[in-house]
Chains A and B, each alone.
Chain A
Amino acid sequence: MADDLIARLRSEVERASAALLEEDHWDGVADHLAQWARRGSVVVAPVVAERAPQLLEQVRDRGLAVVVPEGTDSEVMAAVADADIGVVAGELAVAESGSVLVAEHALGDRVVSMLSRRLVVVVPREAVAAALEDAAAWLAAHAGGTAWFASLMTGPSRTADIERSLTIGVQGPDEVDVVLCAAASNAARPLGAKGAQR
């Protein structure tokens, strides 16, 4: 990965009031989560639980409970309603805009990024792309025939609706950390298939 691409990504992520961290191994990610979690638990999106069971182990090793929102709609929503920290998987980070592309078809995946106070997006280190067109190509490659839900997320939720006064953290997260992790990988999978089975 070209360092200048990551430098550019960092600059844009920070401009969007988020933070960029780099970790080689899952234990580094787990250390951060342990440091940030205030209520003794971390909510982890089902797709992360599936892709990176090591992370869940490492988090538990640090004395934290891991909540994976699954089950009925109301069980899923209840699991995350008060979450102070949630972890989701980023498919791609876009240097041009400091965005991360998160695919979250199942309700259990999407509630994590929507309802957590602090959102941690783990992106494989090799999945840093230069431009929005790369995100478009990714979407085009994954589209077709199935239902899916994917979002480019760029920094924390914000509003300026009252007197143009910028306020961070409205409906969604008020802190966002993008973690580039060398150990993470995005196993190829159809976008919506996982959720469709659920």
Chain B
Amino acid sequence: MRPFQERYAAALADENVRTGLLAFQRGWRDTRDAQIAELEQRTGADFDALRGDLAARKDHVRAHWDHYLDAFTAAAEAAGATVTRVTTAEEANAYVTGLARARGSELVVKGKSMVSEEIGLNDHLEAAGVTPVETDLGEWILQLAHEHPSHLVMPAIHKRAEQVAALFERVLGREFPADDIPRMVQVARTELRERFLAAGVGLSGANALVAEGGSVMLVCNEGNNRMSVGLPPLHVVTAGADKLVATYADAMAQVRLLARSATGQPITVYTNFVTGPRPGGEMHIVLVDNGRSAMAADPDIAPALRCIRCGACANVCPPYQIVGGHAFGHVYTGAIGLVNTAWHHGLDAAADPQALCVSCGACAAVCPTDIPLPAQILEVRNRIMTQRPQRTDSRVRAVALRAFATPWLFAAGTRAVATVTEPLREDGVLAVPARLRRHPEVGRRVGWRSPPAPARRPARDRLRPRRQPAVPRLAETAVTGRRVLLFLQCITDRFAPTVAESTARLLRAAGAHVIVRRTQHCCGLPAFDSGQWETATTMVRHTLAAMEGADDVVTPAPSCVAMLAHEAPRLLRDDPDTAAGLQQLSGRIHDIVDYLTGPARLPAGSLDTGDRTPVTIHRFCQSTNTLGRTGEMEALVRDLAGAPVTALPEATVCCGFGGSTSITNPEVAEGILDRKLANVDRTGATTLLTDNPGCMLHLKGGAHASDRALTVQHIADYLADRLPAS
């Protein structure tokens, strides 16, 4: 496989990748959501219950792996199959190649098998003089083009019809009109049928290995898989033991979610159960470990073995839409590829694409086996930082975060930049002069998004007790009189101080006593996200110390709430006292939207100034995917301010600010921001509200750099602007 930087550059250079994948992701989302909704309605169980059930079935097998492996082996062998367990990819390749040669087979037909891709089987077969022919249409196209799949389910999703037509013309020597897809499909049927009938060996993977009867379950839509395994006299299966299920009923539970999650179909056209060889034939099942036992032994990673290879994690992934699977992943693509690559192909192969992930959590929200993918990706990043400290990326991150984690250095740095850049300041962003933006490296980083401008006076200085604005109390609320610690958030403090001031004013309007402590700095999220968990842990402890004694903690940043409530417990595993302190506090840590929706609810209409300008709303991705938020912001705007809200298409998709992607891979963040702002344009609204300061600065910078007539505000600013004058 080519080096990551080459794959990344090639993906960016191919416009077909992002346009094709955008259409695919949108289409998939609609059909998948409709299918899941229908299933929920019919079964009376929600998606979480359905996937929880499937996850429990897979976990049960993993907890008794040896038992089910033995049961499967016994049943398959009783039906006449030979089951062989191998540890490495090399052993698997040698076994399969040896079989083909021993039977004198020069032609092998292959159904789709990710394990065969994982172990590089085709190369080994070819080296041994055996010709493997991929029979899945997408895989066949890629084989003709000498490429690898870019998606687990739709291998050639990155190719346009014109490219396929040109490829067929070149390889088959006939003309193919680019708009005649049925003709291209038809020629594949004709070309491949001869191979099915002539091949001595059929190769397949397995969607499930059913221990109950020793069956290999294979699904496909084209019929190629069943022809590959059903016609040749020798059928060879390469599969991981992670595909084991206990019973046929378990297999059906998988079937029920697999196609819905993969292609938005209720079920694939064919669900085949192959048990033993056909009369007069042979069947060999090669169970490849290749890191799976190590995954199973690692409690933080083991749930990744539930994966049923549906590809849903890629289908919702915003960075995947920009660069596709050749860059986003290794052999395995999408979010699962950022995890399992470390075990199947090594930590170095897993390291490069990590920074593409924006940590939006969308993958976990749709995973049909409920794999905690975002947490696992962060686990892998942590291992890269600790086990590969010599990597340039690791060293740069270590230095940058050490500076960031030192409060006085961060303060001095942002003040210095604020002073130097003062002449460029424009509505909270820096207007980078055009001549500078023309420089390729500058343009790459700030040409598409004007960078946030550091404030000369941070929020902590503006919110000293005697400088707090007097705000009339609008009502007695459940928080009236409570000591509420305002956790500023590092970005808000230094780059968007008005948001902190607005949050303080809203809290005071609800009757809270607002406390701002100067000892606070950062919740640790940037360090955690970068895999620097030691630094992150120190910052979490520091943050918790700064919160001591407060009745409640409120922040304008739901990202900090997600960090403290959902991620910090992982960091405090070895520190039960601090973990207990966090647990006591975590139910009382709120972001301002959550607080205003709940205990600090202000009276309906109390912020209604008569302004009926429509607004549209971007919700921070983790507010949806991690915190489970739905329509709270919309309700606040409608109920308190009386303004109409125009629904934003793809409202829950990340804006591109997440993770370190906007710094390490600005092209990806730019592409995601373009998608977001294009959706905003479709609403016709001229005011865009969001709940997270990072998103606000990113979106504001994008609107500024593209000269859009768009006001981007944090919802706290929007609401506080409507408070009555004191």
Contact = CB atoms under 8 A, between A and B. Distances in A.
A162 B184 contact: yes
Interface in A117-133: 132-133
Contact of A163 (B161, B252, B256): B161
A114 B212 CA distance: 27
Contact of B276 (A110, A147, A152): A147
B247 interface: yes
A142 B594 CA distance: 55
Contacts of B75: 143-144
A169 B137 CA distance: 12
Given A114-B230, A158-B222, A163-B20, A140 B269 contact: no
Interface string A139-157: 1100111111111111111
Nearest to B42: A96
A169 B221 CA distance: 10
A2 interface: no
A150 B164 contact: no
A171 B192 contact: yes
A158 B189 CA distance: 11
Interface string B265-285: 011111111111111100100
Contacts of B227: 114, 171-172
B120 interface: no
Contacts of B157: 164
Contact of B269 (A110, A149, A157, A165): A157
A162 B156 contact: yes
B214 interface: yes
Contact of B215 (A81, A133, A139): A139
B274 A195 contact: no
B251 A136 contact: yes
A160 interface: yes
A159 B137 contact: yes
Contact of A148 (B20, B79, B160, B280): B79
A86 interface: no
Contacts of B161: 162-163, 165
Contact of B279 (A98, A106, A115, A145): A106
22 contacts: A97-B266, A105-B278, A107-B230, A135-B248, A136-B249, A137-B248, A139-B213, A143-B212, A151-B273, A152-B270, A154-B271, A155-B269, A158-B222, A160-B154, A160-B263, A162-B137, A162-B138, A162-B156, A162-B159, A163-B161, A164-B27, A171-B227
Contact of B80 (A110, A147, A158, A162): A147
Contacts of B136: 161
Nearest to B266: A97
A118 to B, nearest CB: 14
A14 to B, nearest CB: 13
Nearest to A94: B267
Given A151-B271, A171-B196, 11 more contacts: A99-B267, A137-B249, A139-B248, A147-B283, A149-B275, A153-B269, A155-B269, A157-B223, A161-B141, A164-B157, A169-B185
Given A139-B248, A171-B227, A154 B267 contact: yes
Interface in B276-299: 276-280, 283
A114 B226 CA distance: 8
A143 B249 CA distance: 13
B79 A192 contact: yes
Contacts of A159: 137-138, 185, 221-222
A82 B273 CA distance: 26
